[in-house]
Structure 1
Amino acid sequence: MILDPLSLKVVKANCSCEAGSFGKKCWHLKTLEQMIKKELRERIKKARHEMMQIEEDIASWG
């Protein structure tokens, strides 16, 4: 699976399973895509929390 480094969208995906050998999107690829989306959501949520914490810290200085 190849991801675009900026958008993190799947650019190219293939699998060596039977469905993949016929050029179809198999459950292996679908599972990987779901895992990537879940990981991204978690990272975005964590980054948002960290940014909010930094903003609160800066606000408390003044």
Structure 2
Amino acid sequence: MLVHTGWAHWYLTAEPGPRAAVRAERRATGFVQSRDFVAWCWDHRIALLATDTFAVEVLAGPAS
């Protein structure tokens, strides 16, 4: 399964300030890491999962 989020396009066309903030905070869109998600992939026979982000899993920013 290939998931197109638009994140890569945004990142490549964003101004340097917002790009630097995302890089510094190591944030990214993605899928929650859970057994439910893994079970859903198994049940739907998903053998491969890829996205247009630098990680498939969600990367939340640092705790405030």
- Common topology (TM > 0.5): no
Question: Which gives a bigger RCO, structure 1 or 2 (Cα 8 Å, sep 6+)?
Answer: 2
TM-score by length of 2: 0.26
TM-score by length of 1: 0.26
